[in-house]
Structure 1
Amino acid sequence: MAASVTAADLTTYVSPSTGDAGGGNTFPGVTWPLGVVKLGPDLYDGSDAYSGYDDDGNFTGFSMLHESGTGGAPKYGVVSQMPVLGPIANPLADHNDTRAQADVAEVGYYEAFLGSGITVELGGTERAGFYQYTFPSTSANVTRDVLVDVSHVLSSYRGLGLQQAYLGGNIEVVNGNSSDAYYQGYGSYNNGWNRAPEWTVYFCGSFDPAPSSYATFLGTGNTNDILVSYPAGDNVTSTSRLGVVYTFDNDETTTVVTSRVGVSFISTAQACANVDSQIPVGTTLESLTAATKDAWNDQVLSKITTTDTNATNLELLYTSLYHMNIIPTNKTGENPLWESSEPYYDDIFTLWDLFRCGTALFQIIQPDPYEEYIRSLIDIWRHVGFMPDARSSFWNGATQGGSNCDNVLADAYVKGVRGSVNWDDGLSAMLTDAEVVPPNNDDPRDPSGSTAEGRGALPDWLEYGYITPTFGRSVSRAVEYSVNDFAVYQVASGLALANASVYLERSRNWRNHWNPEAESLGFYGFVVPRDTDGFIAQDPLTCGGCYWADYYYEALPWEYSWNAHHDIDTLLAYTGNETTFLARLEMMFTPGAYLSGSFDEMIFNPGNEPSFTTPYLFNFINRQDLTVMYTRRFAQAYYSLGPDGLPGNSDAGAMETWLLWVMIGLYPMTGQTTFLIGSPWFTDLTIDLGTGRTLQISTTGGSEESYYVQSLKVNGESWNKSWLTWDDIFANGGTLDFVLGPNPANWTTGPTPPSPATELAKQRRR
């Protein structure tokens, strides 16, 4: 390995397959940073394949659109081709194929080996994809076919009513099977994890060499289809399943068949323009792979560089950077719903997952796309009425807790994002979340209020200052609504809104769910359910089903009781004193404390976002050494390279961004300018902040056994605080110089981190 990777091809350190098994649900196929096309395999073994990939499944197709690290239900898996050894008597039959050997996944390249002997290689660009099929030598009565199935889609088998459906489409074969032949059309679909209504994607594809023959097909959409028409004509529009079977000469000269396919959400003409401009005739797979690697190097990976040579750490670093930039999707110019001069970003899964770690790092790594992203969120409000907490296929959906888009906007605002952002509209969008009850979308998972957007439990929040069990997820939403209102306050006060203080006061309402008598494991005081008669009995070590209609969503009362991160000094006062605060924090990480749990039976859950910030809270009592100890321990125990390398669902890169912050040695307090200090894993890091600014991080004395901070200099000055601010090192760049050692050192003798929502708080307690 070279002594420095600063000028090297950093994609060699990326493992696209990391997290694609074991519940990580990452996408291992071919994509560009934030690109529309995510070309990869669809496999099925009887259960949901959220990103299309199932390590135990059979190949059912290779489709152009996917997402990465999503849960709930699969999304996309459309615009598909499937190579088959024919002849195909019935194209509506199940034409799946087994895996002959392990797939090969690299940045910009994917290769699959089918049990039939066919090899599939994939490449692509932002809005077009490239298939290369190598067929085996076969007998004369076996044909080499490619099945283009408009009705192919990833479905769900969980029984929650979230399964996608093919609603209808069109396919047209242009110029028959001549050398300039191509096919074009569209498919319409619905549903998925965000319960989206009908949306349409257009496609345009061709083959080289030209097929020897083709036949369109049309049939019913049932599992046991009765063939209606095969061939069905050169231009078919139907709500029934439809597609084309292309047959290629069975001789040694046509062993390799390639196909170029473009997609668009506007028209077939735009799909054809996309493929012709991005993958012109004669483009090779090798050149596409090289261009994709260049894009990832230039736009993402080169933003963090090092001269360190620890191979494992380098691979974790660059693999994580890769996976955090697969989605959202930049669909600027491809929005069919409205015309706008603003950018448009889609496939946001979900800000409930991403606001703690992901979006803060997105701003640092890709400041220009990040500003576009903020503008897009505001523009969605202009045209839809609410910003999304989650959005896909041009539809808001899956708001799991609060209106956490507010947190993202506040974080951008306090860190100086201005540019072309209209912050007056941004604040208006946030005030919509804070004051307007969204219409109920009657989600069967929780029919009590909207799960599509906004704050569905706002009626209780405005009337009582807490949320009763009339609404699902009442306690966890109360904690999140408090954080959301603090976010509103941050922007409102910055823009001198007259009643900004109203939202600061509302941000303290999480306290109305704090029952000081609730007891667990010898500790008192937890956020619990309540109604107008008072607190409701709740074991802090249980959360019922932890699902949409329960008191808490995806985390225990123990976990949510730490999550009012804008008001930590109040929490410290509620727990009694720093000694109790310390003991209570350490209980989160005690094996056996949570006997019904997982992750070594501790309460802390490294695979879920409500636990992300908790190990950093030691900094609030100047025990930064414990922050370092626990974050490094969990990062090394639960993250690794390979298919099972994540502690849970990637959640669109949320898991990976938590690991990246641990490795960098900082952690963001979203909606604030505060960063909590950890311990970097590298001897040096250079983070490119854009416009000629850099953050230079160095460590001396570090090793696998020597990682406790002994001293720190910030911009050359000795530092005694366990935190710093955006202005200290990011606004204009800066330096962090760490000295590390094998034992804890008492270097954080200065003021503790701010607690900006706490009245008369010891804001910088000594």
Structure 2
Amino acid sequence: MGTQGGGNMFPGVTLPFGVVKLGIDLNPPRGAGDPYSGYHAEGNVTGFSMMHESGTGGAPKYGVVSQLPVVGDISNPLLDYSLPRAEADEAQLGYYKAMLSNHVTVELAANRHAGVVRHTFPADDKEKNVLVDVSHFLPSTRRLGIEQHYVEGGIKLNNDATYSGYGVYNGGWNDGPDWKIFFCGGFSQPHRAAAFEGTGTTLESFGKKSEVSGKKRVGAVFTFDQKTGSELLHKRDDWALYPRQQQSKTSKLVVEGKLGISWISEEQACNFLQEEVPADSAFDSLVQIAQKVWNRDVFSKVTVEDASTAQLQLLYSSIYGMFLIPSDRTGENPGWNSTEPYYDDIFTLWDLFRCGTPLFHILQPERYVDFLRSLVDIWRHDGWLPDGRSSNFNGRTQGGSNADNVLADARVKGVTGVNWEDAYSAMVTDAEKQPPNNNDPQAADSSTKEGRGALPDWLSKGYITTKYTRSVSRAVEYAVNDFALSQVAKSLGKTADYQKYANRSQNWKNHWDARMNVYGFTGFLSPVDADGSFPATPHDPLDCGSCYWDAPYYQALPFEYSFNAYHDMKTMIELMGGDRKFISRLEKLFERNANPHGSSQFGNTLFNPGNEPSFASPYLFNFVPRNQWRSVEKSRYIARSYYNPGAKGLPGNSDAGAMQSWLLWSMIGLYPITGTTTFLVGSPQFKHLAIDLGDGKKFEVKSSGGNEESGAWFVQSLKVNGKQWNKSWVTWDDVFANGGTLEFELGTDKKEWDTGDRPLWGIIG
């Protein structure tokens, strides 16, 4: 699901939160886009490597420690041996298979820090080789200045028929500095091995050394064929010869390349290999382990009844997509010694805080506490909470300091096991200290590595001027971040801090230009010039410039961002002209052809299902009583129109599972408002769904009268824990703290059942 059409999903093999993500790497055709997860539907296969991220954009990361089967003589391993597939790849949980044009079949299986690449070579007299190229990585053609680079490497051919080494790389999405990965591997069949080094395509050494290292390209060629040991010995006597069995020249040759990786040392990589892929282990056993672990630890947490095949595919594929990253690298951070959990490959909290992390909390509560502890420990050692992080390095921060939102969400929901005084201190660092400028080539005005780069304006002026890129989107996000601090301060009894940050969280209003207008709606979030005034000509609410790093608005229009102060809805609705105008403006967001610059894929709507700033918008109708049916209408349309279990089943980059988490909330029938205990009520897609909350607690959703084909998905009535309910929202304590039940009656009538109090009304001030 989502491997094509810009979803960029990783389709290879891994365990939940696994360090190893073993998958195929391709060089796609010109104009087809970067291979963000390694995979692409078309192009030439460049290798099968041990590390990937999933669903990301910006620039690829990893694609290192690679193997590629090559049939025939290899005279220069620095040449391009990439090749097309013979047919489409196959995959299932814990297993991947590719059939290459050289008639080699490659199959993949993995454990947490180690994996197996099984090469099945054709039965002929040609040499059978596996090329290990340490300089291999996922490239980028976008020329954004954040592409990856190979720095140096080394490889040793050991006397026990194993090999080991390291590679150093830099760049990628987070623009990380040099990072080092160690590896240790071996093969199931005897072989000859030849190390190589060179620059470009010019060999300086091939087969003359058992160990090479340096800033040149390095690697090794491992050769297997169906000749006798003595024949091999005389063919090239300067290659290492390992005892082998006589094999038939008419049978296919199966070679399993087993490999472990570590961020600490070659020795640790070898230990992982021995522990997780013992010499006597079968390939199929790794596949079975993966299936067992995913089912036991992840999928079994959610059960449904009376679901169609398509619903089941969407449900469990989406859950799977949520937990491919981050990577649990506990004990594997080379930068510090700590007994705390450690998670890397956070891509990114800007993408995940709205839907992903609240669902992470519910589906994986114990791991979620470990993840939160890891965030705080990163601050202890690196000085800052991450928004994004990979290769043990923070970056990049697209807007606000959104680890603040994640921590606040956990705190108000009663999460224990976190050092909350330290967590709050980390949040205060974000709120009060400007991070050093990392001179990002896409936004050189202030830091994109961590923290709040535009903090000087925010603290001294209460708004962010166009001196800073992404000034408007950062301002509304800084306001939400400050609201997050206020909630944690309140919970810790820090009354003065609570009032300070609650007041600061209202500063988003300082960007509200009442002159901006479109379609009869006045007042939108506007850029502010360096002198503190709004532009002489009001900004166009339908123009976000490049909508990227250099623009005032990041990945969304002013029309969209003007709905993003979710923590201060009362003020927002008042500024928009009251309930009726607010509802009309929200409706315009979903109107086809309302966006002259929009994508026909999304009907040229102002709402963009593929970017996170629009995630909450379909549910905001709930803030006006008797309009919950509109939230159901919009959210159901989006789920049905832009998601499916196919290869193009996501409306944009998965963004580390952010898209899947939005869909899962739609299926459940709720939507979270991060940093609060409030969940907006939607409409469930199942007759019965249950989530195991741990400690014997269960959350259940039941529905009757629903029918997807006839459009019978509007709420006719709702009971919460057996009691009739008239509010369009529930709280954490209602249904999650100790478990709970939602019972929906669904139908085709757009019933105005929600006559109770508004959610979050007057929460600020």
Amino acid at match of 1:334: E
What is the aligned counterpart of 1:521 among 506, 519, 522? Answer: 519
Q: TM-score, normalized by length of structure 1? A: 0.95
Comparing 374-383 with 247-256, greater Cα deviation is found at 247-256
Query: Is 2:130 the partner of 1:146?
Result: yes
Corresponding position of 1:191: 171
Amino acid at match of 2:16: P
Separation (CA, whole Å) in 2 of partners of 1:756 and 1:245? 68
Deviations 1:189-214 (A, max 9, x none): 10101000000111110101121x11
Separation (CA, whole Å) in 1 of partners of 2:694 and 2:497? 36
Corresponding position of 1:90: 76
Corresponding position of 1:272: 270
Comparing 281-290 with 429-438, greater Cα deviation is found at 281-290
Q: TM-score, normalized by length of structure 2? A: 0.95
Q: CA deviation at 1:755?
A: 3.5
Corresponding position of 1:549: 550
What is the aligned counterpart of 1:208 among 185, 188, 195? Answer: 188
Alpha carbons of 1:116 and 1:652: their partners in 2 closer, same or farther (altered >3 Å)? same
Amino acid at match of 1:593: A
Separation (CA, whole Å) in 2 of partners of 1:307 and 1:553? 41
Q: CA deviation at 1:137?
A: 1.8
Separation (CA, whole Å) in 2 of partners of 1:621 and 1:232? 76
Deviations 1:262-315 (A, max 9, x none): 010000110010011011112112111111011111111111101223111111
Corresponding position of 1:539: 540
Separation (CA, whole Å) in 1 of partners of 2:558 and 2:23? 40
Separation (CA, whole Å) in 1 of partners of 2:284 and 2:491? 51
Conserved 8 A contact 1:399-1:453: yes
Separation (CA, whole Å) in 2 of partners of 1:244 and 1:746? 69
Amino acid at match of 2:533: G
Separation (CA, whole Å) in 1 of partners of 2:472 and 2:257? 52
What is the aligned counterpart of 2:20 among 37, 56, 65? Answer: 37
Q: Map 1:346-365 to 2 at 5 A.
A: 346-365=344-363
Separation (CA, whole Å) in 1 of partners of 2:425 and 2:401? 14
Amino acid at match of 2:222: Y
Corresponding position of 2:617: 614
Query: Is 2:742 the partner of 1:740?
Result: no
Conserved 8 A contact 2:122-2:252: no
What is the aligned counterpart of 1:479 among 471, 476, 481? Answer: 476
Q: Which runs of 5+ in 2 are unaligned?
A: 227-248
Conserved 8 A contact 1:219-1:229: yes
Q: CA deviation at 1:758?
A: 3.3
Separation (CA, whole Å) in 2 of partners of 1:42 and 1:68? 13
3-state SS in 2 of match to 1:585: helix
Corresponding position of 1:6: none
Alpha carbons of 1:252 and 1:492: their partners in 2 closer, same or farther (altered >3 Å)? farther
Q: CA deviation at 1:697?
A: 1.0
Separation (CA, whole Å) in 2 of partners of 1:204 and 1:308? 48
Separation (CA, whole Å) in 1 of partners of 2:43 and 2:763? 50
Conserved 8 A contact 1:666-1:675: yes
Amino acid at match of 1:25: N
3-state SS in 2 of match to 1:122: strand
Amino acid at match of 1:691: D
Query: Is 2:158 the partner of 1:182?
Result: no
Amino acid at match of 2:725: W
Q: CA deviation at 1:254?
A: 5.9
What is the aligned counterpart of 1:172 among 149, 156, 174? Answer: 156
Separation (CA, whole Å) in 1 of partners of 2:548 and 2:173? 14
Q: CA deviation at 1:232?
A: 4.1
Identical positions, percent: 55
Query: Is 2:436 the partner of 1:453?
Result: no
Amino acid at match of 2:129: D
Separation (CA, whole Å) in 2 of partners of 1:516 and 1:366? 44
Conserved 8 A contact 1:566-1:755: no
Q: CA deviation at 1:517?
A: 1.6
Amino acid at match of 2:540: D
Query: Is 2:721 the partner of 1:715?
Result: yes
Query: Is 2:58 the partner of 1:72?
Result: yes
Corresponding position of 1:105: 91
Separation (CA, whole Å) in 2 of partners of 1:261 and 1:108? 16
Q: Map 1:655-694 to 2 at 5 A.
A: 655-694=659-698
What is the aligned counterpart of 1:217 among 184, 196, 211? Answer: 196
Alpha carbons of 1:756 and 1:687: their partners in 2 closer, same or farther (altered >3 Å)? farther
Corresponding position of 1:462: 459
Separation (CA, whole Å) in 2 of partners of 1:214 and 1:441? 43
Q: CA deviation at 1:252?
A: 4.0
- After TM superposition, the runs of 4+ consecutive aligned structure 1 residues lying more than 3 A away are 755-759
Q: CA deviation at 1:499?
A: 2.6
Conserved 8 A contact 2:544-2:551: yes
Deviations 1:708-745 (A, max 9, x none): 11111111111110001000000000111111111111
Q: Map 1:244-393 to 2 at 5 A.
A: 244-250=220-226, 251-252=249-250, 255-393=253-391
Amino acid at match of 1:733: G
3-state SS in 1 of match to 2:567: coil
Q: CA deviation at 1:521?
A: 1.1
Q: CA deviation at 1:757?
A: 4.1
Query: Is 2:214 the partner of 1:238?
Result: yes
Separation (CA, whole Å) in 2 of partners of 1:584 and 1:717? 34
Separation (CA, whole Å) in 1 of partners of 2:762 and 2:112? 42
Separation (CA, whole Å) in 2 of partners of 1:240 and 1:756? 63
**How many residues are aligned here?**
731
Separation (CA, whole Å) in 2 of partners of 1:386 and 1:335? 16
Amino acid at match of 1:240: K
Separation (CA, whole Å) in 1 of partners of 2:129 and 2:61? 27
3-state SS in 2 of match to 1:78: coil
Query: Is 2:417 the partner of 1:437?
Result: no
Corresponding position of 1:116: 102
Separation (CA, whole Å) in 2 of partners of 1:636 and 1:136? 45
What is the aligned counterpart of 1:423 among 420, 435, 447? Answer: 420
